[in-house]
Amino acid sequence: MPSFLNSLSQRLHLSSKPETKSDFKPSSTTTAQQSITLSTKTSKMSEPIALILGSGPRVGAAVAQAFAASGYKVAMAARKGTDSKTAEGYLSIKADFAQPESIPGIFDTVKKQLGSAPSIIVYNAASLTPPPENALLSIPPARVTNDLNVNVVSPFVAAEQAIKGWETLSGGNKLFIYTGNAQNDMVLPVPMMLNLGVGKAASASWIGQADGAYAAKGYRFIYADERQADGKMKGMALDGPAHGDFYVQLAKSTSGIPWQATFVKSKGYVSFK
């Protein structure tokens, strides 16, 4: 019999005896404290936290809605963040992903405002700088650095912060999802996508390595890439709700899902290897 049930049984048995000075009577303060402790534990277990880094009106918004509908507390960080609660009840945090050193502060805010570290982290921010016409490698170095910070360095720092937070959590799935595209698999002859492709390919590399390195701890790192049904790149036709559905599916279970998770709307994971 669990200890708390045994204790309860003993107290009920004692209450049936004539009262004596040696009978134990829990004070109202003790009972209230136990009730508060149980309530707090139950709340934390039933409300995991999802942190979405980069919350645009399409994918970011749909992912937030999907996690909220699945019982998660949701925090969203973006350049247009308000450092307050949204109408939907999400925690909105102002963030600049071109400044990797600011990332730890986002995690600190989530823990302070929502009570614990996030178990699910979605990195959805992205940046690109089109090169001058007919001058592919003439993008100003400052812009190359900016885009690399957003596409590679900031998610790298976020992954480090995710691990630190996961080490404070017990139970539940721990998952880092990077919203990718097919540019880690293919070189597109589209000049405006140059910096974005460099960033996606670089992040795919460290995500794949991280997924293997932390597998023993049960931590998963996923490079999520929505494709068309024939495996072609989705491009600007990305489907927000499809991302939300797949990401929530991953949060429930990543069994059988590799780090490079290509998916198709309404089908989930589909391998195109």
Q: What is the DSSP string of 118-160?
A: -SEEEE------PPPTT-TT-S-HHHHHHHHIIIIIHHHHHHH
Nearest to 155 by CA among 190, 135, 180: 180
**DSSP conformational letter for 18:** P
Amino acid at site 215: A
- Taking the alpha carbons at both ends of the chain, their separation in whole angstroms is 52
Residues written for the chain: 273
- Can you point out the beta strands (E) in the chain? 49-53, 73-78, 84-85, 91-94, 120-123, 174-179, 219-226, 260-264, 268-269
Taking residue 109's Cβ as centre, other Cβ atoms within 10 Å add up to 19
Burial 132-148 (b: 16+ CB within 10 A, else e): eeeeeeebeeeebebbb
Backbone angles phi, psi at 121, to 5 degrees: -125, 125
Supply the residues annotated as catalytic.
200
